[in-house]
Structure 1
Amino acid sequence: MAAGREKAARIPPRWVVVGAWHVHRALYRVTAGRLGLWRSKPGAWGTLRLTTTGRRSGQPRAVILGYVEDGPNLVTLAMNGWGEGEPAWWLNLLANPEAEAVLRSGGLRVRGRPAEGAERERLWARWREIDPKLDGYAALRSTRTAVVVLEPTDPRRHADDADDRR
């Protein structure tokens, strides 16, 4: 490849992405949560299960997301599999920021919010360290990808979870 030329970011067809989401959630469900979640580590993201309240239905809605830790906070991207539009879970959080996050080490109540300004840039750079193609993937969308901060509403609970990971 020529110097200075970067290979364009490519994502699989939408049916592959959506199919992977369904398989991942099914794996979590049929194993009663024993498989499907993993801890974030330095230089690698983990997965969590986020349950929001449906903005129209008022019913619980669960999704599995990638995350990184930022102190006591969990940080994810509202990327919709790099497809167009905002993911439903993010629209639900905007309507009702209270949610539950389940990590490999247990669950905790969180409040979701968008990262803004310098915080957003710092957290985006953190994700870019993990995935160098992040900017290329984000360029596939016509809207800016929200960086979402999930703040524990009971910080002691998350601190206990962090102790369990050592």
Structure 2
Amino acid sequence: MSERLQLNQKVIDEFRAAAGIVGGDFQGVPLLLTTTGARTGTPRTMPVTYLADGDRLIVFAANGGRPNRPGWYHNLLAAPTATVEVGTETYQADATVVEGSERDRLWARQLPHTPYFEDFETRSGRPIPVIALTRIA
């Protein structure tokens, strides 16, 4: 397991052991997102930063400013239903890529909380995709 995957697993374990509360880079803004692997069909869980927007949770496919988009983003494009764990709650959600002025509005709302995201766009040379997660009733 790579160092990055080991770090993610530590965050996942901490999240689940402490009812959704974690420290470090994810303190105050973590959720666990479980997608279905686009090639494998295997469930994949990742900690991600989110922004609450009404009834939706907004996530950002920043991938730490790397030039490629994160695997979970590609998985959501292939199968847009995911499992979300936030706090002590777990539910299914539909994922939709947000574009245009709505994307820009949500991106601007997130930057004060995670100012390093702005550098991610510069370093990656790509706009960071913004995805809305809407609870399935």
Shorter chain as denominator, the TM-score bin is: 0.7 to 0.9
1:59 Cα deviation (Å)? 1.2
Amino acid across the alignment from 2:47 = I
Aligned to 2:54: 71
Q: What is the rounded CA distance, in whole Å, between the counterparts of 1:128 and 1:32 in structure 2?
A: 23
Q: State the TM-score, normalizing by the size of structure 2.
A: 0.84
How many positions carry a matched residue from both structures? 132
List, as ranges, runs of 4+ consecutive aligned residues in structure 1 with deviation greater than 3 Å.
18-21, 35-39
Alignment of 1:6-155 (within 5 A): 19=3, 21-29=5-13, 33-35=16-18, 37-38=20-21, 46-154=29-137
The structure whose Rg is larger is 1
Greater fraction of residues in strand: 2
CA offsets 1:99-135 (integer angstroms, 9 cap, x no match): 1001112101101111111210110111112133432
1:37 Cα deviation (Å)? 3.2
Q: State the TM-score, normalizing by the size of structure 1.
A: 0.71
Larger relative contact order (C-alpha < 8 A, sep ≥ 6)?
2
Identity, in percent, stands at 28
Relative to structure 1, the CA distance from residue 89 to residue 149 in structure 2 (aligned partners, 3 Å threshold; closer, same or farther) is: same
Structure 1 unmatched ranges of 5 or more: 1-17, 155-166
- Kindly report the root-mean-square deviation, in angstroms, between the aligned alpha carbons of the 2 structures: 2.3
